[in-house]
Amino acid sequence: MNGYLLNAKKLILGTIAYTVCTFSLAVSWHVLLFKERYESFGYFEGEPDFLLGLLTIVLQGVLLSTLFPMLKSEGTTFRRGIKFAFITGAFFWTSHVLAFVAKQKVPEVSAFIGMETVYLLLQFGLFGLIIGVIHRGEISD
């Protein structure tokens, strides 16, 4: 029973951490800092739906926080967190950035890819460190 509660606590903490760091970074990056730039890329059509965006991020946080303990990798939890972030971030990059460019005509494709690559490196790098802290001291099989 204690193991279950500990895992549930880490799942909740991971989900909250992912949600807070991703939502705040997404809003800051895409809406506050570079809104005009992203509008010029055709990234937004109309106003963003913040509630649906938040729900999406929460679901991603649950899934990623569930998946992390399943990663069997050598090294400290920080190292595992960075490896995990690199793998999942690369997957998100292909499905988010490359798919967006493939689905529609984006002016200045290389600028869009560059900006989104930096954004995802920040997002997943931060989450990788945080998930490592949440799971610190664990030894991977």
Across 16-26, average pLDDT: 95
| Banded pLDDT at 3 (limits 50, 70, 90) | low
Q: Cα(81)–Cα(136) distance, rounded to whole angstroms?
A: 10
Q: Which residue has the higher pLDDT, 12 or 70?
A: 12
Q: Cα(54)–Cα(60) distance, rounded to whole angstroms?
A: 10
pLDDT of residue 73: 76
Percent of the chain residues past pLDDT 70, beyond the cut: 94
